[in-house]
Amino acid sequence: MRTTRVASGKVDWANYDESVLWKNVNLCKFNVLRLRYDSGTKTTSFIAE
């Protein structure tokens, strides 16, 4: 039987008025999650390894 760990996360960046929310991220698929913020486009993303 395989266990699945699903989580949701909220990110609040300094000097940025909006929050970012990810829902139902399966944490068993990743060892590392890197958060990135692009101030030019004001977008948040993550890179999963």
Q: Which of 49, 41, 3, 47 lies closest to 22 in space, CA to CA?
A: 47
- For 1-49, write each residue's pLDDT tens digit: 666 788 888 888 888 888 888 888 888 888 888 988 888 888 888 888 8
Range of the domain at 25: 6-48
Tell me, letter by letter, the H, E, C secondary structure of 1-49: CCCCCEEEEEEECCCCCCEEEEEEEEHHHCCCEEEEEECCCCEEEEEEC
The answer, as to whether pTM is greater than 0.95, is no
Number of domains observed in the structure of the chain: 1
Residue 1 inside a domain? The answer is no
